[in-house]
Amino acid sequence: MPAKPLLDRLDAEAEAFSRDLTREYYLNGAGLKEDLSIVPIFERHTRLFTKKMIAALDAAPHDDERWPPLRAFVVEGYLENAAKSLSETIAARETSDAATWDGKEAPYRALPVLIANEADADRRHAIDGLRIEMTAAQNPLREERWDALHAEARALGYADYVALCGDVGRLALDDLAAPLEAFLWDGEATYRSRLRRYLGDIGVAPAAADRSDLAYLFRSPQFDSRFPPERLLPSLRETLAALDIDLDQQAGVRLDVEARPQKSPRAFCAAIVVPSEIMLVINPHGGQDDYAALFHEAGHTEHFAHADPSLPFAARGLGDNSVTEAFAFAMEHLMYDADWLRQRLDWRDAADFVAFKRFYKLFIVRRYAAKLLYELELHRSDDPRSKSKRYADLLTTFLGVRFNPADHLFDVDDGFYCARYLRAWAFEAQLRRHLETDFGKQWFLSAEAGARLKRLWSMGQRRPVEELARETGYAGLDFGPLFDELRT
């Protein structure tokens, strides 16, 4: 088949598949549907994810801008198709598994919320012990799934899963890892000093601290009174209104903020149909974390809701996810801004909170940098089972608290998404400098800044972050502004 008709057909079918799959993940993740039924969706679109389709794409001219994202979509879908039954089973276990805590049933997905809200360290560690026990019991399924994905990567002619992701995702993973590893070692003393201070504030000695203590630390209940639940949605509406965006008039946007027992503890945006059916999902559990989650997912939501509907799906719904993550981080970063806190939450002296949030950002960038180093080793290994201790060692070393080997696969997203986040943080720091230069420190009060963002959002993910960096006046993607910010 000639290249253009092939890409036309593939673009349309990719959108139909993505719509159905994203809706299914939304219903399960939002706690509205217990099972994750993705096998029938793959079966309806079997011709998309075959070696024959990959070969047809490889034989087609590569000069159409839709070719790279569509090839990535097909290859990644081919791998997921090979593991679809295991993906369903894992999701079913995560939804149905439960423990008994304080005489009540506690769903597996609800345990992170209990941990983050538990002030007593011994009880917090005990709840996390239940989570770890269930995670370990689920891990044979995750191991089997990664066995399948790694085998399929090699069957497609790649040396390993790293090589596949670097190629189809256009990610120079080793080049990305080098400056981040240097950043981890160079900033070790400063990070450890700040960590000791903040752990001391919650009465935990660094030598006794584990991942659950960081969950409670970053839940930061001491700031709860400054982030009242009744201001959660109004603060978002007002922020968007200042950028000349009326959230309530966006027919394609729905906010799902209702608490449900089976709802995923991780907030997410489900872009079911771009730009006309976008679901913003959070699981409120109190305090500043709800605000951060809402604003982050609102960044995704506004990005997709403003995508030009005339663009092909490959540009609206596929492409470089570092782009949408950067816009999400730009919205979330408002919580690090004393002027925004004063404007929206009437907080006159937020210096302690801003310092705390800057430490959190230092932590989270270090965490994902360490995850990148770990995942490079994991996905070059012949056996994912062999890397559990390495996971715990690397994250414990770079984050200063104990991580459990049982999380070595639970804490891994497909396709090196950790690299997408890291590239997004780099571009977000550049984007924010650009907005501050053109519209002032309080750019978030400017309708003109809103117009600039809308123009960038309208491109969907047509251009990768490297090109968007050039669009905003830089030579390319540069970690310098991010590293400078994290060192202060």
Query: What digits encode the pLDDT tens for the residues 101-112?
Result: 999 999 999 999
For 225, which DSSP code? Answer: G
Answer yes or no: is pLDDT of 1 > 70.
no
**Share of the chain residues as helix, strand and coil, in percent rounded to the nearest 5:** 70, 5, 25
Q: Provide mean pLDDT across the span 471-484.
A: 93
Can you give the pLDDT at residue 257?
Answer: 85
183-201 pLDDT, tens digit each: 999 999 999 999 999 999 9
Q: Provide mean pLDDT across the span 17-42.
A: 92
The closest of 276, 279, 277, 275 to 267, measured between CA atoms, is 279
281-329 pLDDT, tens digit each: 988 877 888 899 999 999 999 999 999 999 999 999 999 999 999 999 9
Q: What percent of the chain is predicted at pLDDT more than 70?
A: 99
Can you give the pLDDT at residue 129?
Answer: 97
Can you give the pLDDT at residue 35?
Answer: 86
State the pTM of this model: 0.93
How far apart CA 143 and CA 141 sit, in angstroms, is 5
How far apart CA 332 and CA 322 sit, in angstroms, is 15
C-beta separation of 245 from 193 below 8 A: no
How far apart CA 446 and CA 456 sit, in angstroms, is 16
Helix (H) or strand (E) holding 278: strand 277-281
240-252 pLDDT, tens digit each: 999 999 999 999 9
Q: Provide mean pLDDT across the span 46-71.
A: 93
271-274 long-range CB contacts below 8 Å, 24 or more apart? 271/22, 271/300, 271/304, 271/317, 272/19, 272/22, 272/23, 272/26, 273/19, 274/304, 274/307, 274/309, 274/313, 274/316, 274/317, 274/460
Question: For all residues of the chain together, what is the average pLDDT?
Answer: 94
Can you give the pLDDT at residue 266?
Answer: 76
Phi, psi of 268 (to 5 degrees): -160, 160
How far apart CA 422 and CA 371 sit, in angstroms, is 10
Q: Provide mean pLDDT across the span 386-414.
A: 97
C-beta separation of 323 from 468 below 8 A: yes
344-388 pLDDT, tens digit each: 999 999 999 999 999 999 999 999 999 999 999 999 998 999 999
Band of pLDDT at residue 3, cut at 50, 70 and 90: low
Can you give the pLDDT at residue 301?
Answer: 98
